[in-house]
A and B are shown apart, each in its own frame.
Chain A
Amino acid sequence: MKNLYLPITVDHIARVEGKGGVEIVVGDEGVKEVKLNIIEGPRFFEAITVGKKLDEALAVYPRICSFCSAAHKLTAVEAAEKAIGFTPREEIQALREVLYIGDMIESHALHLYLLVLPDYLGYSNPLKMVNEYKKEIGIALDLKNLGSWMMDELGARAIHQENVVLGGFGKLPDKATLETMKKRLQEALPKAEYTFELFSKLEQYEEVEGPIIHMAVKPRGDVYGIYGDYIKVSDGFEFPVEDYKKHIVEKVVEHSFAKHSFYKGEKPFMVGALPRLVNNAETLYGRAKELYESHRDLLRPTNPFANNLAQALELVYFTERAIDLIDEALAKWPIAPRDRVEVKDGFGVSATEAPRGIVTYALEVKDGRVAYADIITPTAYNFAMMEVHVRMMAEKHYNDDPERLKYLTEMVVRAYDPCISCSVHVARL
């Protein structure tokens, strides 16, 4: 009997973060076992913030994941504001979404160019591509810099945005900065489109195609975006975000510090850019809508690799969307950065679309402190589904050279964009 052990590092799952591995056991009859092991230490974010002052807990939550720190901050703040019964003004909401889009642009650009593309071009690390792929690296840096600059201006910095506070922002950029932001976004559009074209040419690995349940937040106001009050499932079912625990169960699995999530008891499902498109494409507009229509054959709901192209499409969409949101804010200029909030007791749930899918926060506030916290991150939602697709890839290729199998399974994991690069770690056992 042939036993193959493949450790792959997969990073960034809430409650856990960081190192994980894929373990594939092959026997005479084929693939026996496929496990995504999450071996990094637990960080107990929910437990450590209970009893803490609300604003301090809100400062800690983004530290769950740096790639999605804005997503964590903004989702936690929305849950907290719902709990205390506060609704931000429309223009504040628009600017928060612009900040969130900064995270989306940075994250998608980093994922596509630095983490995914090197595999396709045959490089072990993106920095080695610099000489031969000047244009691509240049675009990657430009988009990444744009996203992080948006977060610097609106969030105080690109990682762990302390400028987002209950009631609004600590401080807002001035009008001229927002106008510059709009101009830079306009200049970024052709680069986003180039990215889409580039990724539309990549291999799709059809061996992992099959039915997938997609889950995404139903966009507020029926415009493709980040915030929403309902969760939409690709089987047609919809439920209010407050009911997430009724329809999604989390299970502790023995091989992982991260829990796995299931829909209707035991069905794995996918969250992320592809599920957003699958469920909400009719709410797209502009150039992204056209690209979606003309590339539907490539954006197949049944193929997790289409998630890469879906992200590229979102680069186009969110760049355009941010311009519109800035216009919305500028129309109401001057804007007061912050409203007074009274920290009342209550319970609030927020689900938003982080770059890699739904992130959910449920917070109970009592006497100005967190009384209960439940957080589910996109990667935790995705784990069970990811395991299914890794298994499909392994079943198809277990007789191949182990190096190739490793490379292919790693690429499946990476297509999910599980919060960070999932590079193969060749353990010298």
Chain B
Amino acid sequence: MEGKVRIGFYALTSCYGCQLQLAMMDELLQLLPHAEIVCWFMLERDSYEDEPVDIAFIEGSVSTEEEVELVKKIRENAKIVVAVGSCAIHGGVQSWEKDKSLEELWKTVYGDGKVKFEPKMAEPVENYIKVDYRIYGCPPEKKDFLYALGTFLVGSWPEDIDYPVCVECRLKGHPCVLIEKGEPCLGPITRAGCDARCPGFGVACIGCRGAIGYDVAWFDSLARTFKEKGISKEDILQRMKMFNAHNPKLEEMVEKIFQGVEE
């Protein structure tokens, strides 16, 4: 890209962790001479949501009617739209109960209280606009940002990872928490890139980077193992929905996992 790249970082409904991760990177200081921050409310007081940018980073899920309008506006103004993090890409943890009605959720938290804004069920950005690239994770790893920014700045295009966390886990030589401790690790179906961070601490993966493409993921072997460990289909489904609730093929695939496996 020629000259300074105009970038915008836009937040929808989220925990602000993705932008915090980016803001905390000392490497950001090296990037600055090459970039102009047009919009980034977390750091820049003079931020404008409706100015043209080369790259728009969007964090958060679409959770109000106002945010629907905002993402459309961002798309119109941006050459490249990058969805950052599980909220923007998958709807985020706030989608976990996507099948419950909004009224029911509202009642549980707010009772009969009324608010003058229009809430809606959390959705991925892609349900409303075309997204050109994704930076996965909740939050993404710092190297994910470096890789994406680096490739953009040299005029190239970052590529998706199409192998699961298990691959990195095996390469690192961590003990397998699924096989050895019987914990419901989602490593076999989750997009790699975190160096198997959680299994490295002896904790099962919760799938925060989202599921990899279903024709690649190792659903079948996972099915057998889950079954052997006595984990029910419903529990597996709930666990996968934490970061994949909007995946239209999820139920079908979980069904497939348990096919031929007696419950």
Contact = CB atoms under 8 A, between A and B. Distances in A.
Indicate whether A and B interact.
yes
Contact of A252 (B46, B110, B119): B110
B27 to A, nearest CB: 11
A237 to B, nearest CB: 27
B93 A53 contact: no
Interface stretch (B6-14, B212-220, B252-260): B6-14
Contacts of B122: 41, 43
5 contacts: A17-B13, A41-B67, A127-B28, A170-B203, A428-B50
Given A125-B45, A127-B32, A423-B45, A18 B60 contact: yes
Interface string B93-119: 110110010001110111101111101
Interface in A383-429: 419-421, 423-426, 428
Contacts of A47: 97, 100, 104-105, 108-109
B93 A63 contact: yes
A67 B117 CA distance: 25
A425 B119 contact: no
Secondary structure of the A side of the interface? loop
A118 interface: yes
B62 to A, nearest CB: 8
Given A156-B197, A160-B208, A255-B115, A125 B37 contact: yes
A162 B105 contact: no
B193 interface: no
A56 interface: yes
Given A127-B43, A423-B44, A66 B201 contact: no
A254 B117 CA distance: 9
A39 B66 CA distance: 9
B11 A19 contact: yes
Contact of B97 (A48, A251, A253, A424): A48
Contact of A66 (B15, B46, B50, B115): B15
A335 interface: no
Nearest to B139: A159
Contact of B13 (A41, A46, A67, A171): A41
B71 interface: no
Interface stretch (B18-26, B127-135, B144-152, B159-167): B18-26
B202 interface: yes
Interface of B: 11-18, 20-21, 23-24, 26, 28-29, 32, 37, 40-50, 60-64, 66-67, 92-94, 96-97, 100, 104-106, 108-111, 113-117, 119-120, 122, 138-139, 197-198, 200-203, 206, 208, 235, 238-239, 242
A42 B96 contact: no
B198 A156 contact: yes
A170 B197 CA distance: 12
Contacts of B111: 252
B206 A162 contact: yes
A423 B203 contact: no
Nearest to B62: A41
Interface stretch (A7-15, A203-211, A294-302, A342-350): A7-15
B96 A60 contact: yes
B8 to A, nearest CB: 13
Interface residues of A, number: 72
A108 B191 CA distance: 34
Contacts of B114: 252, 254
Contacts of A358: none
A18 B11 contact: yes
A386 to B, nearest CB: 18
A34 interface: no
Interface string A56-72: 10011011111101000
A143 B119 CA distance: 38
Given A18-B14, A47-B97, A421 B20 contact: no
A130 interface: yes
Contacts of A141: 26
A158 interface: yes
B4 to A, nearest CB: 14
Contact of B105 (A44, A69, A118): A44
A255 B14 CA distance: 19
A30 to B, nearest CB: 24
A31 B109 CA distance: 32
Instruction: Output the residue of B14, B32, B66, B206 with the most chain A CB within 10 A.
Output: B14
Given A45-B94, A60-B96, 5 more contacts: A48-B105, A60-B93, A62-B15, A420-B20, A428-B48
Contacts of B116: 254-255
A17 B15 contact: yes
A22 B195 CA distance: 43
Contact of A257 (B42, B94, B117): B117
B103 to A, nearest CB: 11
A200 interface: no
B42 A420 contact: yes
A157 B23 CA distance: 15
A42 B109 contact: yes
B13 A163 contact: no
